[in-house]
Amino acid sequence: MPFADIVGHERVIEVFRRSVRSGKTSHSYLFEGPVGCGRKKTALALIQALFCRATDDDACGVCPACRKVAGGNHADIHCIEPLPDKRDISIDQLRELQRELALRPYEAPRKACIIEPADRMSVNAANSLLKTLEEPPGNAIIILLAENADMLLPTIRSRCQVVRFSPLSPEHVRTLLKRNGMDSESAALLALMADGSMQRALELDDESLAGRREMLLKHLSAISLGRIATVFDASEELAGNRGDTLETLDMLLSFYRDMIHLAAGCNDIVNTAIRPALESFAARLGLDRALQVAGDVMETRRAVQRNANVKLALDHLFMKMAGGAT
């Protein structure tokens, strides 16, 4: 995938384009950032740009070299990850890599390798890589991927040029999901719940999402009637593990964001499949109350993130929503 097709990370890409154009790329990089934000795609785009001879600062995407990189079968690219039944990348894997890097490239101007996750190299494996990082044989390029650079040995870090990747914005996740063929509405909702990670977005199964939306809406309708028993039923059913609960709260927040839009006279909403229900909620609550509840949901989200008891946090929130608390 050429740089031109990468979504987000504009500043990083611009720097890479400049260094490819001027022929001044580093030989060892450490890409630091959350899983699913596009580090590996960017690493492959950089390698593709270096291997493609058609253009000066990006890959053409169509020449034989570009197609092999995109197809994952370029003989000069080595991807190192833990073996299937192992937790760590072993020293044997790195020795094998070093042997490969010492050979002449088959067809590319240089060899390339991606090590992921770099923080799962055993200490011995990491130490064996130090000299290679400093002076890669045959001008090879080595790209390490890690969520947190601080998890790597300082001796590894200091030998690499560190490139920081931010989580994707919801707009970028939405764009990528739609590019994957997802309908606009599901993409918009998942993008809000994905924490800037495409991997996370894809894990959140679209169909189960529709089911959860229906269930949440059902509880919301019951809570809005203000009966205390329904409040506890709702928190009983909706309180899952911390991650599930955060997703439920994100979904709830997306409902209230839509209600705020509707109450303010703006028709642009995310949850179009339940528009009639949201319109009637918005009409009943009004803008001020919808804003207030959205604030309460965000506060609950922060509390759950800070390890609050999930069930109690939801009890408290739903009581407030039912008008039964202070």
- For binding to Zn ion (CB under 5 A), which residues are involved? 52, 54, 59-60, 63, 66
Q: What is the C-alpha to C-alpha distance for residues 119 and 216, in angstroms, rounded to an integer?
A: 39
DSSP 3-state of 114: strand
* Pick 1 or 63: Cβ nearer Zn ion: 63
Residue of 26, 67, 24 lying closest to 160 (CA atoms) = 26
The CB-of-106 to Zn ion minimum distance in angstroms stands at 16
* Pick 2 or 196: Cβ nearer Zn ion: 2
Residue of 201, 128, 117 lying closest to 151 (CA atoms) = 117
Q: What is the C-alpha to C-alpha distance for residues 268 and 157, in angstroms, rounded to an integer?
A: 46
In the structure encoding, which two tokens stand for residue 181, read together? 């063929």
Phi then psi for residue 163, to 5 deg, are -120, 120
* Pick 67 or 212: Cβ nearer Zn ion: 67
**Residue keyed to tokens 């989200």:** 301
Instruction: Characterize 114-146 residue by residue with b for buried, 16 or more Cβ atoms within 10 angstroms of its Cβ, and e for exposed.
Output: bbbbbbbbbeebbebbeebbeebbeebbbbbbb
The CB-of-3 to Zn ion minimum distance in angstroms stands at 12
The CB-of-67 to Zn ion minimum distance in angstroms stands at 8
Count of CB atoms within 10 A of residue 34's CB?
18
Contact assessment for residue 33 and residue 194, using Cβ atoms and an 8 Å cutoff: no
Angstrom CA distances, 131 to 79, 105, 112, 113, stand at 19, 20, 16, 15
The CB-of-55 to Zn ion minimum distance in angstroms stands at 7
The CB-of-77 to Zn ion minimum distance in angstroms stands at 14
Q: Interior CA angle at 173 toward 171 and 177, to 5°?
A: 115
* DSSP single-letter state for residue 119: G
The CB-of-26 to Zn ion minimum distance in angstroms stands at 22
The CB-of-17 to Zn ion minimum distance in angstroms stands at 15
The CB-of-112 to Zn ion minimum distance in angstroms stands at 15
* Pick 6 or 59: Cβ nearer Zn ion: 59
